[in-house]
Amino acid sequence: MIIPKASKLDSKQIKEIEKIVSEFDCNILEIQGHNQCVYAILGDETHALMFKRIAGLSYIRKVDAIESPYKLMDRRSALSDHQVQVGISTVGKDSPFIIGGPCTIDPKEPSLYIDTAHALKEAGVNALRGGVWKPRTNPYSYQGDNKAIEIIIQAREETGLPIDVEVMDSEQLTIAMEAKVDILQVGTRNALNYSLLKEIGKLSAGTGSGVLLKRGRHVASPNEFIAAAEYLVAEGNPNVMLCPRGTTPALDGYRNHPDESVTPLLKNRTWAPVVVDPSHSVGHAEYVLACSLSAIAYGADGLCIESHIDPARGIGDDPKQAIIPERMKELISSCREIWAHRYQVKD
């Protein structure tokens, strides 16, 4: 990774470096951090001579050779002070960043989604979620509908809140990018789909959109999860949020095995914000508050929570795990208390 002395390289400097790396069959890619651009070396970057020549240029601060499978995500990387901005929020800055909304948008009942969005804005969420396309275990369950994108766009226009939508393939990604979706969600089933991760990283690079990467149910180690996020950053989008959402169930009664306790491990190893999803972790509306409080106590920067004005009328996971906006408001207030305490303790 190449780190310039200034916040970015000018075009003449880029050309000069491109010329050097091309002699070693490599290329460079600009990654735009909040304060600092860094330049990833693509190709076999182990050539000591190439490193030396670049490091010797007067405008280069250093050429970083962090030995890590996730050198850009690494806490020690030059992106370590990168901040993820979503709409008017800097994730993890002053208070927990809360994404809320139904699991699934029902295209036949747009007013249920729009009314939920307004109620959630009132409750204090920072962004809206809503499934347009759904990864369903049962192939005969509702799979989503392109029409739902219009409904979530309308909710964004009416509330002014940024939106989070899961994408599972190129076609959905194209539609979501055209709609300027603020947060592209990669679900648990695609957490290790490296082709999709690369495509998302590449197409969303420089657009300002965030990516919420869920921890796959089968992603064993924190490092495997961080390396998946590295694919997004290495293709040019550093606006990554890591989202633990429960792993393979071991506790009979919970939908998944709650894993909010992985938060400090992720935060120690990377600079990326952690946004925990308590809804899919526990799978029952009644346990969502406890899991949320626990996540914030563990150091999470935010939460992604399923919420619906009338869960019984929702589809997908909503009847079981969505909380009503009134509960969301109480939850946000309790999480803020823990957040404030957390910072008091730290100081």
* Sole binder of ligand PEP in the list 53, 156, 214, 267 (CB under 6 A): 214
Q: Name the residue nearer to ligand PEP (CB basis): 123 or 275.
A: 275
Per CB under 6 A, does 262 bind ligand PEP? no
Contact of 297 with 205, CB cutoff 8 Å: no
Question: Which residue in the block uniquely carries the two structure tokens 């499934």?
Answer: 131
**DSSP count for the chain of H helices, then E strands:** 12, 14
Q: Name the residue nearer to Mn ion (CB basis): 64 or 306.
A: 306
Per CB under 6 A, does 135 bind ligand PEP? yes
Residue span binding Mn ion (CB under 5 A) among the ranges 98-106, 177-185, 187-195, 238-246: 98-106
Per CB under 6 A, does 255 bind ligand PEP? no
Structure tokens at 97: 């960043």
Structure tokens at 249: 């169930």
- Give the binding-site size for Mn ion (rule: CB under 5 A): 2
Per CB under 5 A, does 317 bind Mn ion? yes
Per CB under 5 A, does 103 bind Mn ion? yes
Per CB under 6 A, does 245 bind ligand PEP? yes
Which of Mn ion, ligand PEP, none has residue 187 at its interface (CB below 5 to 8 Å by kind)? ligand PEP
Contact of 201 with 45, CB cutoff 8 Å: no
Point out the residue whose Cβ comes nearest to Mn ion. Answer: 103
Partners of 275 in the beta sheet? Answer: 302
Residue type, 141: S
CA distances (Å), 127 to each of 2, 96, 164, 232, 278, in order? 34, 12, 7, 21, 16
Supply the DSSP symbol for 285: G
Per CB under 6 A, does 321 bind ligand PEP? no
Residues between 267 and 286 that touch ligand PEP (CB under 6 A): 277, 280
User: Could you give the CA distance from residue 151 to residue 116 in angstroms, rounded to a whole number?
Assistant: 12
Q: Name the residue nearer to ligand PEP (CB basis): 28 or 161.
A: 161
Per CB under 6 A, does 131 bind ligand PEP? yes
Q: Name the residue nearer to Mn ion (CB basis): 101 or 302.
A: 101
Q: Name the residue nearer to ligand PEP (CB basis): 133 or 271.
A: 133
Contact of 305 with 292, CB cutoff 8 Å: yes
The CB-of-186 to Mn ion minimum distance in angstroms stands at 14
Largest CA distance in the chain: 65
Per CB under 5 A, does 322 bind Mn ion? no
Strand locations in the chain (E): 2-4, 27-32, 37-42, 60-63, 85-86, 89-90, 97-101, 127-129, 163-166, 183-186, 210-214, 240-243, 275-276, 302-306
Which of Mn ion, ligand PEP, none has residue 230 at its interface (CB below 5 to 8 Å by kind)? none
Structure tokens at 132: 């347009």
Point out the residue whose Cβ comes nearest to ligand PEP. Answer: 187
Binding site for Mn ion (CB under 5 A): 103, 317
Binding site for ligand PEP (CB under 6 A): 103, 131, 135, 166, 187-188, 214, 245, 277, 280
